[in-house]
Copies of this chain bind each other. A is one copy, B any other.
Amino acid sequence: MNRLFDKLKPKENRFFLLLKEMTAIIESTANVLMECVKTQNIQQVAELFGAIKEQKHHSAVTRDKIYEELNTSFITPFDREDISHLASTLDDVEDMINKCVKRITIYKPKRIPAAAIELARLVGDAAQCLTQAVEELDTFKKHPAVINGYVEKLADIERKSDETYEAFVIDLFENEKDAIELLKLKETLKELERATDAARAVGRIIRTIVVKYS
């Protein structure tokens, strides 16, 4: 009887706690990322990567907890598929930051270009914005305009990230004559552009939720 009651009770708080945990992980990973791209010492990146791997694991575990809650709760604060999509796309952001740093440790590029720092800054901005948007989602009935502001900001960040990556690739193809170094840097920085893409996708999911529930 108690178990049924527990299943019927809205688990709003539980879902928000887990989603907030995911954005907190992303913010913290974005900070380590910045350290990684600022140092030119690949050995130090390899050490920092240990922390990022742990955070990535934590993110996947948290995402899986959300899935489990979805599968066992009768009532959810929003549409089941929207929450599931939110959790998996937040994990994508984390995953792409992780992949960027992993590539530095595996590829050992001769240099880390300035564009990597610029992109890491944009990833950091997106991470902060995700935290704020998810925080606001918890109480969005009060301020839909605020939440839409965050969604717009995530789109802006993604556009800037796109331009930064594009300018970097143009420069790379003009100036890097070593095909293997070109490949390394192109693939490594691409992950950061993809991270802001995923953050923008999170924004779109949040907008969908706001439209449905306002």
Residues of chain A having any CB pair with chain B under 8 Å: 67-68, 71-72, 102, 106-108, 166, 169-170, 173, 177, 179-180, 182-184, 208, 211-212
Q: B71 touching A211 by the CB < 8 A rule? A: yes
> Which B-chain residue is minimally distant from A173 (CB atoms)?
B107
Selected from B170, B182, B208, the residue in CB contact (under 8 A) with A180 is B182
- Expressed in whole angstroms, the Cα–Cα distance for A88 and B101 within the complex equals 31
Q: B183 touching A106 by the CB < 8 A rule? A: no
Nearest first, the 5 closest Cβ-Cβ pairs linking A and B are: A179-B179, A71-B211, A179-B180, A71-B212, A106-B170
Copies of the chain in the assembly: 3
- A209 CB to closest chain B CB, in angstroms? 9
- Expressed in whole angstroms, the Cα–Cα distance for A67 and B179 within the complex equals 42
- A126 CB to closest chain B CB, in angstroms? 19
Selected from B102, B106, B166, B208, the residue in CB contact (under 8 A) with A106 is B166
Q: A71 touching B208 by the CB < 8 A rule? A: yes
A182: chain B residues within 8 A (beta carbon)? 180, 183
